[in-house]
Amino acid sequence: MADSYLGVRLDVLRRSQNPDGGWSYYTGKRSWLEPTFYGALVLHGDPAADRAWSLIKSWQQPDGSWPPTAGAAISGWGAALCLTMAQIRGEIDGTFLKGLAYLLKTAGTESEIWRRALAKFGLVDPGRNLSLKGWPWKQGTSSWVEPTAHTLIALKKAYTALPAPEVAERIRSGQALLLDVRCKDGGWNYGSAWTLGEDQRSYPETTALALLGLQGRAEAAGSVDLAKGWLQETPSSLARAWITIALRLHGIGVPNTNSPLKGSGSPDLMVVALEALGAPEGNYRLLKTEAAG
């Protein structure tokens, strides 16, 4: 096990956990929410994961959001990750409810009423349906594919425990937004499919993330084929890891890999965690969601 694809990565993660229980993106740095979430997901059930969750759970801000790292006064997308983790751990408590309320009240600024009015009267051409609501990286900015996909995972899990109409509506709208901004090539860019009259090309990592948000949706099928092709072609370890996770969650077989750790070429601990998560015996199933909304 220790020498296996997964074992090598688990060993790296265990050795690189910070004394406070979190993980940094790179060894020797401060703990950040995002790599800590993935480290905890990979090691779910292990005391190391409990310490990681205790740390980031304590970071919740008064508005229900989470900062990207301790003390940064930013209401960021990490709330989606923390809500997902709370549900995986079965902690439907005050922290969870505050976080859920935050996500339900947060939307990309492009869907504000005055922007929709400008588009309706033809004064601007946003190239997308502004009535659909996604989620931003940071409160007060526009919605993007990645934070929207992460929030859809959190809300779909929440809907199972708390089937409220407002949760269902945000899931419906968020999924519709992802489908609305899909690029002509069948994948996803970071945001819009179209800018200044030019079609944008899609990227493997954002396509994989959108597929995670669209689990259970038949419309995702064509994009799954595109992602399968990218798995062989992309030079990005991060993109390969996300595609592997997305394909497995869509029930697509992914060839086992025996590539050594150094083969990934990245010292980024989050990439290491995602590779471990997507291993055949990895914890990718924890991100599984049912169709909802």
Partner 1 sequence: MKISRRDFIPLAGAGLMAGYAGWEGLRSRRNAPSGPSPVAVIKATSYSEDLAQRMLRGVRECGLDVRGLNVLLKPNLVEFDPNTSINTDVSVVAAAYEVFKSLGAADVMIGEGPGHRRDTYSLVEMARYREISKFDDLFVDLNRDDVSAVEKFADRAEMYFPNTALRADLVVSLAKMKTHHWAGATLSMKNFFGLVPGSVYGWPKNELHHIGIPESIVELNRIFRRSFGIVDGIVGMEGNGPIQGTPKPAGVLVMGSDLPAVDATCCRIMGINPAKIEYLRMASDGNLGNVEESRIEQRGEKISEVRTNFALIDSFRGLRLT
Contacting residues toward partner 1, per CB under 8 A: 24-26, 29-30, 32, 34, 68-74, 76-77, 109, 136-138, 140-142, 144, 146-147, 190-191, 195-196, 198, 203, 205, 235-239, 265-268, 271
Instruction: Decide whether 129 or 142 has the Cβ nearer to partner 1.
Output: 142
Instruction: Decide whether 108 or 293 has the Cβ nearer to partner 1.
Output: 108
Q: How many CA atoms lie within 13 A of 91 on its CB side?
A: 15
CB of 138 to partner 1, least distance (A): 6
Instruction: Decide whether 59 or 159 has the Cβ nearer to partner 1.
Output: 59
Dist. CA 35–CA 81, nearest whole Å? 11
CB of 141 to partner 1, least distance (A): 4
Instruction: Decide whether 235 or 251 has the Cβ nearer to partner 1.
Output: 235
Entry field: residues in the chain = 293
Closest CA to 110 of 169, 182, 192, 171: 192
CB of 81 to partner 1, least distance (A): 13
Closest CA to 78 of 38, 105, 46, 29: 38
Strands 194-195 and 198-199: antiparallel
Classify 143 as helix, strand or coil: strand
CB of 237 to partner 1, least distance (A): 7
Classify 66 as helix, strand or coil: strand
Instruction: Decide whether 158 or 205 has the Cβ nearer to partner 1.
Output: 205
Q: Let me know: does 78 contact 68? Beta carbons within 8 Å.
A: yes
Instruction: Decide whether 92 or 190 has the Cβ nearer to partner 1.
Output: 190
CB of 110 to partner 1, least distance (A): 10
Dist. CA 181–CA 191, nearest whole Å? 7
CB of 160 to partner 1, least distance (A): 28
Q: What's 200's DSSP letter?
A: P
Dist. CA 99–CA 154, nearest whole Å? 10
